[in-house]
Each structure stands twice: as C-alpha cells, then as structure tokens.
Amino acid sequence: MMADPTYRGIALDAETALALLQWQAELGADEPCLDDPLDRYDLPDRVPAGPAAAKPAPLPPRDAGRDLVAMAETIAAAATTLAALAEAQEAFEAIELRKGARNFCFADGRPGARVMVIGEAPGEEEDLQGRPFVGRAGQLLDRMFGAIGLARDAVDADKALYITNVLPWRPPGNRRPEAAEIALMLPFLRRHIELAQPEILVLMGNTPCIAGLNRQGILKLRGVWDTAFGLPALPMTHPAYLLRTPIAKREAWSDLLSLAARLEVGEKP
Ligand code: URA
C-alpha cells in the first residue's frame, strides 16, 4: 500500500490532500509550485532551444508604457490579414500576461460575420484550448445567441458570429485586466475589428466597454446602443455574470431581441 502524501513533513490522508489541492485551484493556483517562491516574471523569455536561443532580444523598459503602445500600433497596422495579425499579436512580447498563460486565444467563429462579440479575456478552459468562450460562460453565450438564430459555426455570414476578447492571454487567477494591459492590446483589437469587418459589435461586460467606449458600469450601459470603433455597439452583461445572477437573464434576453431587431432592419434584400 502507498504511504500517505506529506505536506512540509506532515502526513496527509488522501482526502485532506485532495481538499487542499481543490482549495488552491479555486484560489487560482493551477500549476504545481516549488517550496520556495519563483519569480516567473524574472525568468528569461521563452525562446526556441538551440543556438538561436542563446540571446533573447531585450525587452523595452517597463515604464515605457506609451512607447509600447506605439510599438503595438505599428505592428498591428502592418498586418493586412487576420492570420498575419494573429501571428504578430502572439509574438508581441511586451505584454507580461503572455508569460503566465498556456495558450494564445485569438478568435473563434466566422470572420466576416455581421456580428462580432468582444469579451474580456480567456479563462481557464479558454487558456487550455486556445479558443475564446469555450468554458461554461461560453456555452451559455452559444445558447443565448442560438436563441436568436446566430451561431459561431454558421456557414452563412448573416447567421454567424465572430468572437474575440480584449486580451488574448489569460490573466492569472482570472483577475480583472489592468488598464495598462487593455491599452497595450487595444491597437490589436482595433485592427482585428477592421480586418474582420463586422457590421455590429456586442460588448460583453465591462472590459470591452472600457476598451471600446472608454466607459464602464455595465449594468447601466447594457441594452443601450452606442458607437465603438466606428460601429454600432451593444453593451450586454457578461454570460459569467448571468450564470451567477440568473435573474439578470431577462434583461439579457431583451438585449438579444434588440440585436435581432437591428439585424433585421439592416437585412440585405
Ligand atoms: N470570459 C471572457 O470574457 N472571454 C472568454 O473567452 C471566456 C470567458
């Protein structure tokens, strides 16, 4: 029989060990750790193994926030296709979140769809799969839009969705994105929208409202049509909020009907 595991020299029965592990996972500690803290932000950057790995390119200093945004703008503007933009954004090293995430999450659905949904940032499941909105909130999102006949896998652009997030990297422990992180990814998001060419944007929660409207307070903003990135934009409550607050689904339904009506009015013959 196997001996019970130990924690710092103290024997743990399997049930206690499992409970401790679950508790840590709930706090966002989803990687095994060392006994002594390791500053992962201080590690050398990820580079391919081999001779080319010897000298990683130095990053600009941390306080060069505005320079970094300018750099992001130049890089994003140079991309002329969605594939090129995805490649350039994934390779953009100046965002610290990149170091702690497993996978880059660019977009899902059909580019060219009339409706583009913008969320906040990947969560745990999205980070694992490298696709936005594939966890519980994403499943609710699919059901919500399905109720008005829109789906990310629809072949017809009129019935399709294109989905992305303000941040393509998961923030540690699903914490709220910081203003500097939003500002740094904004040039990529702006270019993403230009290249995907939607007719209408749906801003899911506060973070895309900050990015697109420079405003927050989603419970006031929701359901009121506005303009973001030069397009009609509808702020809606985030499906993760709706999972926690089912009573708010009624308002979300009314927002979906408003979107459906707008799509119908703009319907091409
Ligand atoms: N929440 C978001 O805002 N985006 C995702 O991709 C998943 C959860």
CATH number at residue 129: 3.40.470.10
Give yes or no for residue 120 CB within 6 A of ligand 1: yes
How far apart are the CA of 242 and the centre of ligand 1, in A? 13
How far apart are the CA of 17 and the centre of ligand 1, in A? 30
Average model confidence (pLDDT) across the chain: 86
Report how far residue 112's alpha carbon sits from residue 207's, in angstroms, rounded to the nearest whole number. 23
| Predicted pLDDT of residue 42 | 65
How far apart are the CA of 135 and the centre of ligand 1, in A? 8
Q: Are strands 226-228 and 231-236 parallel, antiparallel or unpaired?
A: antiparallel
pLDDT in tens, 175-203: 999 999 999 999 999 999 999 999 999 99
CB 144 within 8 Å of CB 239? yes
Task: Please tell me whether the overall predicted TM-score, pTM, comes out greater than 0.85 for this model.
Answer: no
Q: Is residue 115 part of a domain?
A: yes
How far apart are the CA of 117 and the centre of ligand 1, in A? 10
| Predicted pLDDT of residue 269 | 45
Higher pLDDT, 14 or 161: 161
Q: Is residue 246 part of a domain?
A: yes
* pLDDT of residue 17 exceeding 80: no
Give yes or no for residue 122 CB within 6 A of ligand 1: yes
What is the position in ligand 1's atom list of the atom closest to the CA of 131?
6
Q: Is residue 26 part of a domain?
A: no
Query: How many domains does the structure of the chain reveal?
Result: 1
Give yes or no for residue 119 CB within 6 A of ligand 1: yes
Classify the C-alpha dihedral 198-203-208-211 as positive or negative. Answer: positive
Collapsed DSSP state (helix, strand, coil) of residue 68: helix
| Predicted pLDDT of residue 154 | 97
* pLDDT of residue 45 exceeding 70: no
| Predicted pLDDT of residue 215 | 97
| Predicted pLDDT of residue 66 | 82
Q: How does residue 50 score in pLDDT terms, banded at 50, 70 and 90? A: very low
| Predicted pLDDT of residue 77 | 98
Q: Is residue 260 part of a domain?
A: yes
DSSP 8-state symbol, 168:
S
Tell which one of 141, 162, 165, 242 to mutate to probe ligand 1, the residue whose CB is within 8 A of the most ligand atoms: 165
Q: Is residue 11 part of a domain?
A: no
DSSP 8-state symbol, 58:
P
Structure tokens at 190: 């702006």
Q: Is residue 189 part of a domain?
A: yes
- Report long-range pairs for 143-151 (Cβ below 8 Å, ≥24 apart): 144/239, 144/242, 144/252, 144/256, 145/115, 145/117, 145/256, 147/253, 147/256, 148/256, 148/257, 148/259, 148/260, 149/260, 150/115
* pLDDT of residue 268 exceeding 80: no
How far apart are the CA of 62 and the centre of ligand 1, in A? 27
Report how far residue 46's alpha carbon sits from residue 49's, in angstroms, rounded to the nearest whole number. 9
| Predicted pLDDT of residue 53 | 44
Q: What are the C-alpha distances in Å from 61 to residues 67, 203, 239?
A: 10, 32, 37
| Residue ranges making up the domain that contains 137 | 67-265
Give yes or no for residue 133 CB within 6 A of ligand 1: yes
Q: Is residue 42 part of a domain?
A: no
Share of residues in the chain with pLDDT > 70 (%): 75
- Among 5-9, 76-80, 121-125, 237-241, which stretch is predicted with the lowest mean pLDDT? 5-9
Tell which one of 102, 136, 238 to mutate to probe ligand 1, the residue whose CB is within 8 A of the most ligand atoms: 238
DSSP 8-state symbol, 40:
G
Give yes or no for residue 189 CB within 6 A of ligand 1: no
